[in-house]
Amino acid sequence: MHNIRNRFTSLNLLAIGFTALLIIAQFFVVLLLNNGHFTYSLDDPYIHLAVAETILQGGYGVNLREYSSPSSSPIWAFLLAPISMFEYSPLILNTFAALCVAHIVSKIIEESFNSNTAEVSKPLQFIWVAIIMVITNIPGLVMTGMEHVYQVLTVSTIFYGLVIYSKYNRVPI
């Protein structure tokens, strides 16, 4: 029976490295285009950061004494709260999630292309992972500063579970 442990393979590491390079390149392009100043591609992360800072002070909203619901995702503000004093906190959290997406996508590709009847070479599998990461614009989602990368991670993880279930009739933990 196939072992479904979450081990890192060369494809996983290549996928994670490739995604990290895309994110780093995009980060430096943003700095280059903005004269060394980093900005998110949307204004919403700044609102979420303000709400997160207010949460740490015992309130909820942009201003401490005025309770309001200015953000589109309350959960994201709570996730940002512990590190909200750092402007790059959405970037860091999203980069982590994007690297997890790369890992899961590479696992999906490995399971989908490896079977008893035919195996697809590792370089071709990597090309598929790279194409998926680029056409789904995962690095671009990281730069929005929003929680969307975590939504993609959730869907990817569920899809991976479905792939494993379809092949082995069991769902990994």
Task: Say yes or no: 147 and 122 in one domain.
Answer: yes
Parent domain of 60: 39-85
The answer to whether residue 129 sits within a structural domain is yes
35 CB neighbour count, 10 Å cutoff: 6
CB-side neighbour CA atoms (13 Å) of 120: 15
Q: Is 161 contained in some domain?
A: yes
pTM of the model: 0.87
Question: Could you tell me the two tokens for 170?
Answer: 């069991």
* DSSP-based three-state secondary structure for 52: helix
In the chain, the number of structural domains is 2
Q: Is there a single domain that holds both residue 132 and residue 155? A: yes
**For residue range 113-159, what is the model confidence (pLDDT) as tens digits?**
876 555 678 888 999 999 999 999 999 999 999 999 999 999 999 99
Same domain, 106 and 159: yes
Q: What is the pLDDT of residues 13-56, one digit of tens each?
A: 999 999 999 999 999 999 999 999 999 988 889 888 888 889 89
